[in-house]
Amino acid sequence: MALPPDATVADVGEFALIDALAPIFEQGEHVLVGPGDDAAVLRVRNGHVVVSTDLMVEGRHFRRDWAEASDVGHRAAAQNLSDINAMGGRATSLTVGLACPPDLPAQWALDFARGFAEECATVGASVVGGDLTRADQVMIAVTVIGSCTVSPVLRSGAEPGDVLALTGRQGWAAGGLAVLGRGFRSPRVLVEAYRRPEPPYAAGSVAAEAGATAMIDVSDGLLAEARHLAEASGVAIDVRRDAFEVPEPLVAVGGALGADPLGFILGGGDDHALLATFPEGAVPAGWQVVGTVTAGSGVTVDGADYEGPTGWTHF
Binding residues for Mg(2+): 38, 52-54, 83, 131, 217, 220
Give yes or no for a contact between 34 and 128, defined as CB atoms under 8 angstroms apart: yes
- 3-state secondary structure at position 173: helix
Give yes or no for a contact between 180 and 66, defined as CB atoms under 8 angstroms apart: yes
Annotated binding site for substrate: 61, 270, 312
Report the distance separating Cα 56 and Cα 140, nearest Å. 5
Q: What single DSSP character describes residue 112?
A: H
Annotated binding site: 38, 52-54, 61, 83, 130-131, 155, 217, 219-220, 270, 312
- Number of residues written out for the chain: 315
Give yes or no for a contact between 175 and 249, defined as CB atoms under 8 angstroms apart: yes
CA 186 from chain center: how many Å?
Answer: 23
Strand partners, 55: 141
Report the distance separating Cα 178 and Cα 183, nearest Å. 9
Whether the bond into 200 is cis, omega within 30 of 0: no
Report the distance separating Cα 158 and Cα 150, nearest Å. 17
Annotated binding site for ATP: 130-131, 155, 219
Helices in the chain by DSSP H: which ranges? Answer: 9-12, 14-21, 69-85, 106-121, 172-181, 188-195, 203-210, 222-233, 248-257, 261-267
